[in-house]
Amino acid sequence: MNRATFVRVLCALALVALAPRPAVAARPFVTDDARIVDRGGCQIETYYKEQRTYSGSEFWFLPACNPFGVELTFGGNRIEGDDNAILQAKFLLRALEVNSWGSALSVGTFGGDPYVNAIGSFSFADDRAVIHANAGAIRDGKADLTRWTWGIGLEALLHAPRFYGILETYGQRDDKPVMHGGLRFWIQPQRVQLDTTVGAQSGQSGQPDRRFYTVGLRILF
């Protein structure tokens, strides 16, 4: 999917929402949202990612809780045999309201590399469409440089209260952007969620494009 096609689909998806429902980003987004787990609550997000262009896979496990007004994540992943610890604190700066906007800030480490991410979310049409935007940076210890990161995504209600669609593009310094889209289905609304996505990234220096799919599970309690 080229960028022009992606933008057209993004705009079309924003128009298909059928009924109001509070927006909850999270999986299957990579782009983060201006929301945190309710105070005193927890969630588990886990997903599997399979590369289609070559043999490679990832598994992510991300439990998070909000004990005192800050969402704390202590998790990890395995990317093609390499294990990475993920630690994050996410602060809600302004709560996202219907037909308004919200903001948040996250700081953490990924495999020992520190990062920071500024988050903005914008609600339209009574939460039928919500746009999320990120801008941040991660310190790449191996390359000894700072990589700027970014993301923008659309979350659209397709059929209340269980079906949502997502489209997003995201990337970082020296990498080609990733195009990513999929569906979220609430087995039990705001409690148990299944999701699946497909994505693609243009190849570097004559290499083939990377294509992948994911399947995920999210549980809130």
List the structure tokens of 175.
């990498």
DSSP 8-class letter at 210? E
3-220: CATH topology: Porin (2.40.160)
Q: Which of 3-7, 94-98, 165-169 is predicted with the least confidence, judged by mean pLDDT?
A: 3-7
Give ∠ CA 36-49-4 in degrees, rounded to 5: 80
The predicted-structure confidence for 158-198, as pLDDT tens digits, reads as follows 999 999 999 999 999 889 999 999 999 999 999 999 999 99
Give ∠ CA 218-178-170 in degrees, rounded to 5: 70
Residue 208 burial class via C-beta count within 10 angstroms: exposed 0-12, middle 13-18, buried 19 and up: exposed
Ramachandran category for residue 142: left, alpha or beta (phi over 0 → left; psi -120 to 50 → alpha): alpha
Q: Which phi and psi (to 5°) does residue 58 adopt?
A: -140, 150
What's the Rg (C-alpha) of the chain?
Answer: 17
The predicted-structure confidence for 42-69, as pLDDT tens digits, reads as follows 999 999 999 987 888 999 999 999 999 9
Please say whether the beta carbons of 59 and 48 come within 8 A.
yes
Could you tell me the pTM of the whole model? 0.86
